[in-house]
Copies of this chain bind each other. A is one copy, B any other.
Amino acid sequence: MKVIKEISLLREALRDKRKDGSTVGFVPTMGFLHEGHQSLLKRAREENDIVVLSVFVNPIQFGPNEDFETYPRDIERDEQAAYEAGVDFIFYPSVEEMYPHKAGVSLIVNSRTNVLCGAKRPGHFDGVVTVLTKLFNIIQPDQAYFGLKDAQQVAVIDSLIRDFNIPVELVPVNTVREEDGLAKSSRNVFLSEEERQQAPAIFKSLQKARALIDSGERNPEKVIAGIKEELDSSTSGEIDYAELLSYPELERVEEIQGKIIIALAVKFSRARLIDNIIVEI
Interface residues of A (CB under 8 A from B): 7, 11, 19, 21, 101-112, 129-130, 133-134, 137-138, 140, 156, 159-160, 162-167
Also in contact, A156 and B107, with CB within 8 A (given A137-B165, A137-B166, A165-B134): no
In the complex, residue of chain B having the shortest beta-carbon distance to the beta carbon of A103: B163
CB-CB under 8 A for A134 and B164, given A21-B19, A104-B156, A105-B109: yes
- By the criterion CB–CB under 8 Å, are B103 and A106 in contact? no
Q: Nearest Cβ in chain B — how far from A176, in angstroms?
A: 28
- Chain B residues with CB under 8 Å of A109's CB are 104-105
Contacts of A107 in B (CB 8 A): 105-108
This chain's copy number in the assembly: 2
Q: List 15 A-B contacts (CB under 8 A).
A: A11-B167, A101-B162, A103-B110, A103-B159, A103-B163, A104-B110, A104-B111, A104-B159, A104-B160, A105-B107, A106-B107, A106-B110, A108-B108, A137-B165, A137-B166
Q: A102-B111, A105-B159, A137-B164 are in contact. List 18 more A-B contacts (CB 8 A).
A: A7-B165, A101-B162, A103-B159, A104-B109, A104-B110, A104-B156, A104-B160, A105-B107, A105-B110, A105-B160, A106-B107, A106-B110, A107-B108, A133-B164, A134-B165, A137-B165, A137-B166, A138-B167
Are A138 and B165 CB-contacts (below 8 A) given A19-B21, A104-B156, A129-B105?
Answer: yes
Counting from the closest, the 8 A-B pairs by CB-CB distance are A104-B159, A104-B111, A103-B163, A137-B165, A134-B165, A106-B108, A105-B163, A105-B160
Per DSSP, chain A at the interface is: mixed
**B contact residues around A166 at 8 Å (CB):** 137
Distance between Cα atoms of A132 and B165 in the complex (Å) = 11
User: What chain B residues lie within 8 Å of A103 (beta carbons)?
Assistant: 110, 159, 163
Distance between Cα atoms of A115 and B133 in the complex (Å):
27
Instruction: Establish whether residues B108 and A163, one from each chain, have CB atoms under 8 Å apart when the complex forms.
Output: no
- With the chains together, A104 CA to B103 CA distance in Å? 21
Distance A212 CA – B256 CA, assembled complex (angstroms): 73
When C-beta atoms are compared, the residue in chain B nearest to A133 turns out to be: B164
| A165 to B134 Cα, complex, angstroms | 6
